Amino acid sequence: MDFPAFDGPFLALVATVVVAGVARGMSGFGSGMIIAPVAAAIYGPQVAVPMVAILETFPTIPITIPALPLARWREVLPVTVGMAVFLPAGAYVLSQSDADLLRWIICIAILACAAVLWTGWRYRGPRGLPISFGVGGVAGLLSGIASIPGPPAILYWMASNLSTTVIRANLLSLFLLGDFLAIVTFWAAGLLKPDVVGVGIATIPFFFGALLVGARLHGLASEQTYRRVTFALIVLSALLALPVL
C-alpha cells in the first residue's frame, strides 16, 4: 500500500475526518456525508468513496459488536440483501463516470439526503420484504456512488414501531455489514488501489480518536443541538466541495 505524504491536502482531509468523527461520536450519524465530498474534492471520487468505506469500518467494530444481539435480523437481512445486490451498480457508476460529474452527484445527493433528514420526514407506507429490499437497494446505490448508505435506512426504520434500542442496533449492524460489502465490491471493481488503502488506513487513528472525543462530549447538550450541528457540518462540507467552488 502507498501511504500519503503529510502534505497540505492530507492535513485538510485529516481535519475533516476529525470534525466528522467528533460529530459522529456526539450525534451517531453523519460522518460519511461530511468526509465524502471533501475527500472527493481533494483526491477525486474514485479514491474518496472506497477510502471512506475503509475508514468507517474498523473503528466502528467495537461499538457495533455489543449491538449485534439486539438487532432485529428479520428486519436487517432483507435490507442487507438489497444493498448487496445494488452496491455493484453504484460502484460501476463510480468507476466509469467523469470525476467532476461524480463530485456534482455526491454533493447534490448529500444535500438532498440532509434536507430530507432535517425535515423529520419518515416513511410511513407499507412494510414487508419487497419494501425492505428496495430500501436496501437505494442504500446500496448511494453506498457505491457516494459512500452514504445511511439516509434510506434511517428514514425507513425511524418511522417503525421498533424501540429506539432496536433501531440503533439495526442501523449499526446494517452499516457494518454494508461497509464490508462495499470493501469487497470496490475490490472487485478494481477501486481498492494501494493509494486508496493507504489513505484510508492513515486516517483511521484520527477518526477513532475523534469518535472517542465525540462520545465523551455526548450529554453536554441536547440531542437536538447535536443534530443541528451535524446537519450544519454536512451542508457546509457538501457546499464547499461543489466543483463550481
Whether 95 is in a domain gets the answer yes
Render pLDDT for 185-208 as a digit per residue (tens, 0 to 9).
Answer: 999 999 999 989 999 999 999 999
Render pLDDT for 38-78 as a digit per residue (tens, 0 to 9).
Answer: 999 999 999 999 999 999 888 888 878 888 999 999 999 99
139 vs 119, residue with greater confidence: 139
Cell of 28: 451517531
Note whether 110 and 236 are within 8 A (CB).
Answer: no
Whether 186 is in a domain gets the answer yes
Domain total for the chain? 1
Render pLDDT for 76-108 as a digit per residue (tens, 0 to 9).
Answer: 999 999 999 999 999 999 999 898 888 998 889
Whether 1 is in a domain gets the answer no
pLDDT higher than 70, residue 245: no
Whether 34 is in a domain gets the answer yes
CA–CA distance, 53 with 56 (Å, rounded to integer): 5
1 vs 74, residue with greater confidence: 74
Give this prediction's pTM.
0.86
Whether 2 is in a domain gets the answer no
Whether 3 is in a domain gets the answer no
Closest CA to 43 of 106, 90, 112, 91: 106
CA–CA distance, 16 with 27 (Å, rounded to integer): 16
CA–CA distance, 165 with 214 (Å, rounded to integer): 20
Q: What would the mean pLDDT of 171-177 be, rounded to a whole number?
A: 89
pLDDT higher than 70, residue 1: no
Domain span including residue 189: 8-240
Whether 201 is in a domain gets the answer yes
- Can you tell me which residue has the cell 477513532? 208
CA–CA distance, 195 with 242 (Å, rounded to integer): 23
CA–CA distance, 198 with 13 (Å, rounded to integer): 13
Closest CA to 14 of 203, 197, 141: 203
- Can you tell me which residue has the cell 460529474? 101
CA–CA distance, 215 with 39 (Å, rounded to integer): 24
Whether 29 is in a domain gets the answer yes
Per-residue confidence (pLDDT) for residue 215, from 0 to 100: 80
pLDDT higher than 70, residue 115: yes
